Amino acid sequence: MRLFREVVLNFKRSGFMSFVSIGTIILAVTMLGGFYIMQTVVNFAADQMQNRVEAVVFIKDGASAEEIKLLGDEITALSGVKEARYISKDDAYQDFAKDPEMQKILSSFEGNPLPDSISVKFNDYKAQEINSAVAAIKTKMAVEDVEYGAAEIEHLLNVINAVKYIAGAAGIIFVIAALLVVSNIIKLTIYNRRQDIYVLKMVGATGADIRLPFIFEGIAHGFLGGFLGWLILYAVVSFLAFQVKKETGIDLAAFYAFNPALLSPKFIFGMTGAGIVLGLTGSLMSQGRIFK
**Is residue 117, in this structure, part of any structural domain at all?**
yes
Alpha helix ranges (H) inside 139-203: 150-192, 194-202
CATH number of the domain where residue 103 is located: 3.30.70.3040
pLDDT given at position 253: 65
> CB of 92 within 8 A of CB of 15?
no
**Is residue 216, in this structure, part of any structural domain at all?**
yes
**Is residue 202, in this structure, part of any structural domain at all?**
yes
105 and 242 inside one domain:
no
pLDDT, mean of residues 99-103:
79
d(CA 266, CA 275): 14
> CB of 224 within 8 A of CB of 22?
yes
**Is residue 22, in this structure, part of any structural domain at all?**
yes
Q: CA nearest 71: which of 116, 122, 137?
A: 137
168 and 285 inside one domain:
yes
pLDDT, mean of residues 260-264:
63
What is the Cα Rg of the chain in Å? 31
- Residue 110: CB atoms within 10 Å: 6
- Number of independent structural domains in the chain: 2
pLDDT given at position 271: 86
pLDDT, mean of residues 21-40:
79
| Bigger pLDDT: 2 vs 135 | 135
User: Given 78, 109, 124, which residue is the final one in a domain?
Assistant: 124
86 and 118 inside one domain:
yes
**Is residue 139, in this structure, part of any structural domain at all?**
no
159 and 241 inside one domain:
yes
86 and 164 inside one domain:
no
**Is residue 236, in this structure, part of any structural domain at all?**
yes
pLDDT, mean of residues 266-287:
81
DSSP letter assigned to residue 108: T
CA distances from 170 to 33, 76, 165, 269 (A): 12, 45, 9, 22
Could you give the percent of the chain with pLDDT greater than 70?
76
pLDDT over 70 (residue 216): yes
Domain ranges, residue 195 = 2-48+154-291
pLDDT over 70 (residue 257): no
Torsion angles phi and psi, residue 148, rounded to 5: -155, 115
pLDDT given at position 107: 78
User: What SS3 class is residue 185?
Assistant: helix
171 and 254 inside one domain:
yes
User: Given 86, 108, 124, which residue is the final one in a domain?
Assistant: 124
Q: What is the pLDDT of residues 114-159, one digit of tens each?
A: 888 888 888 777 778 888 888 888 888 888 888 887 667 777 777 7
Q: What is the pLDDT of residues 196-206, one digit of tens each?
A: 667 667 776 66
36 and 180 inside one domain:
yes
36 and 173 inside one domain:
yes
Give the least confident one: 187-191, 256-260, 282-286: 256-260
166 and 285 inside one domain:
yes
Q: Rounded to two decimals, what is the model's pTM?
A: 0.61
**Is residue 205, in this structure, part of any structural domain at all?**
yes
58 and 24 inside one domain:
no
User: What SS3 class is residue 57?
Assistant: strand
pLDDT over 60 (residue 110): yes
271 and 160 inside one domain:
yes
pLDDT, mean of residues 18-22:
76
Q: What is the pLDDT of residues 223-243, one digit of tens each?
A: 888 899 888 888 888 787 778
Q: CA nearest 30: which of 223, 174, 173?
A: 174
**Is residue 147, in this structure, part of any structural domain at all?**
no
188 and 233 inside one domain:
yes
